[in-house]
């Protein structure tokens, strides 16, 4: 576990040193979510109907901006090869890097989501449901994105290929995440949506780091 915390601390420090790039992703999230009310009009019912879905899509696209750099810098500097040659299981430091990526890029989006919910005239309770759903769903984006980033590591046009691989995989998360807010607004129980999001998160935690480590070994070899 010493390696886990060392890699987690290192990646968080690197993220802090490049916080301008993280600020770009956060600004992208806010701008994309803010543009839709201008395009569809200020009608309350319409804004409330699409608000949760827009925030979810904006969060996915904002998180996608930082994914190509998840392993690229370590690959270019040779650090990735040293980590793969270390005696510790690769799944430990892979999990640490994914957690650091989510803490630096996903968590700020979750914390900002209630403010964007107000822009779409969602109630405070709906904003809380949106935040909870994003708290369960955005780690899945990071876990699946890490696998796709490992598969496309070192390839020409990796960013575009990464997006093509990741976006279809995230459709169920978008459906259940936005559906949780819609179910709450309609007075229907949201336990099923949150349970499916939680189950998807547990499955991704159990499988994605192993798949990512295997893909990194193939990419480096």
Residue 154 CA to residue 104 CA, distance in Å, equals 23
Whether this prediction's pTM lies above 0.95 is answered by no
- With vertex at residue 210, the alpha carbon angle to CA 209 and CA 214, rounded to the nearest 5 degrees, is 115
Question: The tokens of 197 are what?
Answer: 């999001």
pLDDT tens-digit map of 21-79: 778 888 999 998 888 888 887 788 888 888 888 999 999 998 888 888 888 877 877 78
Kindly list the averaged pLDDT for each block of 10 residues, start to end, along the chain of length 221.
84 84 86 86 82 90 85 80 83 91 91 88 88 94 92 78 89 91 82 92 94 84 64
Q: According to the 3-state scheme, what is the secondary structure of 151-202?
A: HCCCCCCHHHHHHHHHHHHCHHHHHHHHHHHHHHHCCCCCHHHHHHHHHHHH
Q: How many domains does the chain have?
A: 1
Q: pLDDT at position 110, please?
A: 92
**Geometric angle at alpha carbon 156, from 154 and 158, rounded to 5°:** 70
Within a 10 A sphere around the Cβ of 206, how many other Cβ atoms? 10
* Domain extent for 70: 2-220
User: Cβ(67)–Cβ(167) under 8 Å?
Assistant: no
């Amino acid at each position: 576990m010493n390696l886990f915390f060392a890699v987690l601390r290192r990646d968080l420090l690197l993220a802090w040193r490049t916080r301008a790039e993280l600020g770009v992703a956060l600004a992208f999230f806010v701008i994309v979510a803010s543009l839709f009310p201008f395009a569809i009009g200020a009608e309350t019912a319409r804004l409330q109907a699409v608000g949760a879905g827009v925030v979810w899509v904006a969060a996915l696209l904002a998180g996608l901006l930082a994914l190509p750099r998840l392993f690229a810098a370590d690959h270019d500097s040779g650090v990735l090869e040293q980590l793969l040659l270390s005696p510790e299981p690769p799944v430990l430091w892979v999990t640490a890097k994914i957690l650091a990526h989510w803490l630096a890029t996903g968590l700020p989006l979750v914390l900002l989501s209630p403010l964007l919910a107000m822009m779409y005239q969602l109630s405070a309770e709906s904003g809380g449901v949106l935040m909870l759903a994003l708290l369960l769903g955005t780690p899945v984006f990071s876990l699946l994105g890490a696998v796709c980033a490992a598969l496309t590591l070192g390839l020409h046009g990796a960013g575009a290929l990464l997006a093509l691989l990741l976006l279809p995989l995230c459709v169920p998360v978008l459906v259940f995440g936005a559906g949780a807010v819609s179910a709450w607004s309609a007075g229907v129980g949201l336990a099923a949506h949150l349970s499916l999001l939680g189950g998807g998160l547990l499955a991704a935690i159990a499988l994605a780091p192993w798949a990512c480590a295997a893909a990194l070994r193939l990419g480096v070899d």
